[in-house]
Amino acid sequence: MSFALTYIEGNGLRLRPLLEEDYTDEYLGWLNDPVTNHMSQRRPFPCDRADMRAYAQQFSGQPGKGFVLAIIRKSDQAHVGNISLVNVQLVNRCAEIAILIGRADARGKGLGSEAVYLLARHAFQTMNLHRVFAGTFNPAFVRCVEKLGWVREGVFRERIWACGAYHDQIWLAQLRRDFKPLAQYEPEGAGA
């Protein structure tokens, strides 16, 4: 199974490895912003520059364990967030997807759906994985992946503490056989 990545192209997005120039004050701000992290399981603990780099760098010596990609909006080449494939289980051929749309002007525009679609396509078609999954208490993420054909598989009741209350964690997944090419996310001129 190959884990060497360059770019994953979509219609409106490009997913690529994080570069030195991605570690900006803006990116650090995403990680410390309570609004950005309101529905995140990461929880907005104060992060410094070393913390910002640590998440992606933990995979640098172990590419078979996962990776983090920058989400680049093609219209202006802006780094709008990150998406990762983690908890890679080679024997079971499955992995977990996590996403952060950091830029406020990129939220609610379908970029999260395209990013998840592109990474799932890569996981199934290039990495030969059988299953991708995620756990969340964010209703927007649930809607995002359900419109891509993901299926709710279960609920961990009151597993997440956030905003002064416990929330159910919803587990969703997509199997390789259920992945459907969606022309609106494919690169212009590519056959879906």
How high is the pLDDT of residue 63?
Answer: 65
How high is the pLDDT of residue 110?
Answer: 94
Task: State the Cα–Cα distance between residues 106 and 102, nearest whole angstrom.
Answer: 8
How high is the pLDDT of residue 1?
Answer: 43
How high is the pLDDT of residue 164?
Answer: 87
**Residue 185 — left, alpha, or beta (φ > 0 → left; ψ -120 to 50 → alpha)?**
alpha
What three-state secondary structure class fits 42? coil
Mean local confidence (pLDDT), 88-110: 95
Mean pLDDT, the chain, whole residue set: 90
Q: Is the pLDDT of residue 4 over 50?
A: no
Q: Is the pLDDT of residue 192 over 70?
A: no
Measuring CA to CA, which residue among 93, 91, 72, 92 is closest to residue 81?
A: 72
The per-residue pLDDT for range 108-135, each reduced to its tens digit, is 999 999 999 999 999 999 999 999 999 9
Task: State the Cα–Cα distance between residues 79 and 62, nearest whole angstrom.
Answer: 24
Q: Is the pLDDT of residue 94 over 80?
A: yes
Full set of structural domains in the chain with CATH: 8-185 (3.40.630.30)
